[in-house]
Amino acid sequence: MKTTINLTVILLLGFSQIFGQTDKEIIQAFKTSYGLEKSGSYKKAADELKKVYSNDSYEINLRLGWLEYNAGLFEESAAHYQKALNLKPFSEEAKFGLIYPKYAQGNLTEVINLYKKILEINPNNTSANYRLGLIFFGKKNYTVAANYFEKVVNLYPFDYDSLLMLAWSDYYLGKKNHAKLLFNKVLMSNPEDKSATKGIQLIK
């Protein structure tokens, strides 16, 4: 009985040391990757993490997605971000991360869908609302763009970027009086702003 107990203790200690060492190796790999990232060696930084890669590690997949995106490996980046998202389906950071390589690959439809998925869970996410506004503004769909910018302005009434974009959206929608009001608010934030100044001049 005593021998069995001692053997159990030894096995538990052995497993503890193994798992502890694994944790140390993973942390060291992250540390090394941060140093390589600072020097711009993104692929080498990714290779360090691949030495301790685990398919079911959200953190490793997420970081590999970021490093491979910066290394210009967009397909590999998207694959790792997708794995992270599969592991944590509600993760906003994984969705935002996946947007980077998808956008770089020109997959604008997927980018829009990812932003919308973020808003399904968190309707007041200002980054997703603002960026969707920019996309639809670029498409000259000013009505949809204005709706997204307005959501941000309602939450942050003195936000420079959203005020400016909402002002231009309203301008192109023919809402000149409201656009002028918003351009003036922009100038309260940045009195020398050329875009807002131009907008007011066009309205005059």
CA distance 180 to 168: 9
Coil, strand or helix at 89 = coil
pLDDT digits over 76-106, tens only? 999 999 999 999 999 999 999 999 999 999 9
Percent of the chain with pLDDT over 90: 88
pLDDT digits over 121-166, tens only? 999 999 999 999 999 999 999 999 999 999 999 999 999 999 999 9
The whole-model pTM stands at 0.86
Q: Locate the domains of the chain by residue range.
A: 30-122, 133-204
CA distance 191 to 198: 12
Quote the pLDDT of residue 80.
98
pLDDT digits over 187-196, tens only? 999 999 999 9
Query: What is the CATH code for 30-122?
Result: 1.25.40.10
Quote the pLDDT of residue 204.
79
Closest CA to 61 of 34, 30, 82, 40: 82
- Residue with the bigger pLDDT between 36 and 14: it is 36
Q: Is the pLDDT of residue 7 over 50?
A: no
- Residue with the bigger pLDDT between 7 and 93: it is 93
Give how far Cα 202 sits from Cα of 21, 182, 199, Å. 66, 14, 5
30-122 and 133-204 share one CATH topology? yes
Quote the pLDDT of residue 156.
98
Query: What is the CATH code for 133-204?
Result: 1.25.40.10
Q: What is the 8-class DSSP label of residue 123?
A: T
